Chains A and B, each alone.
Chain A
Amino acid sequence: MGQKTEISNLLANLPRLGAGLTYHEPFLADLLQKQPEVDFLEVHGDRYLDAPPARMDELAMLAEHFTVIPHFTGLSLGSAEGLDAVYLENVAHLIKQLKSPWWSEHIGYTRANGILLGQPAPLPFTKEGIEVMTRNIVTARRAIAAPLILENVFGPLVWPGSEMDPARFIGEVLGFGGVGLLLDVADLFTYAPGLGIDPIKLLDRLPLDRVVQVHFSSSHDSQADSSESRVQPVAEGVWQLLNAVVTRAPVRCLCLELNDNPPPLGDALKEVERARTVGRQYKRWN
């Protein structure tokens, strides 16, 4: 069996989760009341590495009630200096504890020279960028049995000297790494124009058969501007992209990505319900 077929089979067997959102601690009590309205939770995995017991107890309790998908930024699969072995060990331990159907990181880097950014920086679209990602993905996959999916990072920085277009770069990283795609449609909506490409055209050039999960949120720029106020509702342009992805790709779940200072849970759940309806409309789940 070829590598491509193996990966396709692996991704095809992943569960269809539905619509969910990023977990934040203030949501806890309400979430337990509104469990039927949330098909899964995504957690910021980095926050539970080496965390105090009370936070781990809370995570264990969440995992009893919901499917929990850990999403990481700190492993930094795009770091040319290689992976932090202790960090990787901690990530592997957490994923094993959660028994998650998959886990996610970024096609980018957050760590260099001892500084952890907390926000992924894009990679140059070069052969060296692909080699770095592939090497680190192989190391991570040796340590972690659960399937890995990777999220696109198109901006805001664009490295000069690209050797290929962003869609080919992502396709090669996923292909060589043998992993799925976590497609962030807000990132696509916000930053594709800066790459000189229409978001829909870029979408159509991505390896959509690899899409497992979709992140949707207000555009990344508006989140940056509104950190002291509530995040803005998801823009209609982002909804249009989400619809376009769901019609084209075998998505397993749609996740409302909420950064710090999230809106009230009730507001977030309205957007989750809208996403769930989109998935149902195209028979991605019941």
Chain B
Amino acid sequence: MELIRQQKLVVQLCTDHALLEEFLAAPAQVTTREGLTVGAESLAKLNPGQLRQFARLLRMRRLGEAGTALPLTRRALGHRFAELFTAYALQNPPPGKRLGQDAIAFVNYLLQSNPTKPLNPVWLMSLASYEAARVEVEWLGQRKLLVRKFPHALRRLLTAFEADGVPKGDFSGWTLAVWCSSSSGRQPRHWLW
């Protein structure tokens, strides 16, 4: 079944930017390495513009879903949310089947890629980590109990987000956030201190 190999390669091309560029520069090299035989010549004729367009469409879809999962982070970052997510998505294929996994992976990427260059506002990573934790509990339902500590006053920050725009100030302080799912499986209970 040559189509299995062809589909695998198309998916890789559209989710791995470096591989796509390598393929566009030397298609035969990539198809040979990926073990394509009968369909290699055909696949090598894929239109570069269409491949790039589809890869972009996939990133836009992922960006939209991440924005839904991290609404306040998106609001706080403005247009930079799309820039940062695109940089992440160019290097990382979708991490799983479930809605929210990509958003969590994106926040982890931000935490790992910006340790010496904190994002502004100063509380941004606390907010992003808080929203990722909420997705982990409320969307993925993977944990019965989750406790996280954040180096900013999140309760005040979340209240400030109820007004339009992005809150001003450094929101210094500490927050302990707890989510607890009951055995009845209803909406998890949540506390901020």
Q: Give the interface of A toward B (CB within 8 A).
A: 46-47, 50-55, 57, 74, 79-81, 87, 109, 111-113, 115-119, 121, 124, 128-129, 132, 155-161, 194, 220-221, 223-225, 227-228, 259-261
B185 smallest CB distance to A (angstroms) = 4
- Which residues of the partner chain B approach A261 to less than 8 Å between Cβ atoms? 64, 67-68
Once the chains bind, are A155 and B58 in contact (CB under 8 Å)? no
Which of B54, B79, B93, B96 is the most central at the interface, judged by chain A CB atoms within 10 Å of its CB? B54
In the complex, B175 has a CB within 8 A of chain A: no
Once the chains bind, are B57 and A115 in contact (CB under 8 Å)? no
Residue-by-residue, is B92-109 near A (CB-CB < 8 Å gives 1, otherwise 0)? 011011110000000000
Once the chains bind, are A118 and B61 in contact (CB under 8 Å)? yes
In the complex, B187 has a CB within 8 A of chain A: yes
Interface-facing stretch out of B42-50, B119-127, B155-163, B165-173:
B42-50
- Which residues of the partner chain B approach A81 to less than 8 Å between Cβ atoms? 4, 7
Once the chains bind, are B54 and A121 in contact (CB under 8 Å)? yes
Q: How far is the CA of A260 from the CA of B82 in the complex (A)?
A: 14
A193 smallest CB distance to B (angstroms) = 13
Q: List 23 A-B contacts (CB under 8 A).
A: A51-B141, A52-B140, A52-B188, A54-B138, A55-B139, A80-B6, A81-B4, A112-B7, A112-B8, A112-B10, A115-B15, A115-B93, A115-B94, A117-B14, A118-B58, A156-B50, A156-B54, A158-B47, A159-B42, A161-B39, A221-B53, A227-B64, A261-B68
How many A-B Cβ pairs are below 8 Å? 126
Known: A52-B139, A53-B185, A115-B15. A132 touches B3 (CB 8 A): yes
Known: A117-B14, A121-B10, A227-B64. A157 touches B94 (CB 8 A): no
B87 smallest CB distance to A (angstroms) = 15
Q: How far is the CA of A47 from the CA of B94 in the complex (A)?
A: 15
**Consensus secondary structure, chain A interface:** mixed
- Which residues of the partner chain B approach A46 to less than 8 Å between Cβ atoms? 99
- Which residues of the partner chain A approach B93 to less than 8 Å between Cβ atoms? 115
Q: Give the interface of B toward A (CB within 8 A).
A: 1-4, 6-8, 10-12, 14-15, 39, 42-43, 45-47, 50-51, 53-54, 56-58, 60-65, 67-68, 79, 81-82, 93-94, 96-99, 138-141, 185-188
Once the chains bind, are B138 and A52 in contact (CB under 8 Å)? yes
Query: Which 10 pairs across A and B sit closest by C-beta, in order of nearness?
Result: A260-B64, A52-B141, A160-B45, A161-B42, A80-B3, A53-B185, A54-B187, A112-B11, A112-B7, A113-B8
Q: A119-B61, A156-B54 are in contact. List 14 more A-B contacts (CB 8 A).
A: A51-B139, A52-B185, A113-B11, A117-B11, A117-B14, A117-B15, A118-B58, A118-B65, A156-B57, A157-B50, A158-B50, A194-B50, A224-B56, A227-B64
Once the chains bind, are B51 and A157 in contact (CB under 8 Å)? yes
Once the chains bind, are A220 and B94 in contact (CB under 8 Å)? no
A160 smallest CB distance to B (angstroms) = 4
- Which residues of the partner chain B approach A221 to less than 8 Å between Cβ atoms? 53
Once the chains bind, are A115 and B46 in contact (CB under 8 Å)? no
Once the chains bind, are B57 and A119 in contact (CB under 8 Å)? yes
- Which residues of the partner chain B approach A194 to less than 8 Å between Cβ atoms? 50
B166 smallest CB distance to A (angstroms) = 15
Once the chains bind, are A155 and B50 in contact (CB under 8 Å)? yes
Known: A53-B186, A74-B97. A115 touches B11 (CB 8 A): yes
Which of B1, B8, B47, B97 is the most central at the interface, judged by chain A CB atoms within 10 Å of its CB? B97
For A46, the closest partner residue in chain B by CB is B99
- Which residues of the partner chain B approach A116 to less than 8 Å between Cβ atoms? 94, 96-97
- Which residues of the partner chain B approach A158 to less than 8 Å between Cβ atoms? 47, 50
Known: A74-B97, A118-B61. A113 touches B54 (CB 8 A): no
Partner of A80, one of B4, B14, B46: B4
- Which residues of the partner chain B approach A129 to less than 8 Å between Cβ atoms? 3
Q: How far is the CA of A79 from the CA of B4 in the complex (A)?
A: 8
- Which residues of the partner chain A approach B65 to less than 8 Å between Cβ atoms? 118, 260
A58 smallest CB distance to B (angstroms) = 10
A215 smallest CB distance to B (angstroms) = 16
- Which residues of the partner chain A approach B94 to less than 8 Å between Cβ atoms? 115-118
A17 smallest CB distance to B (angstroms) = 26
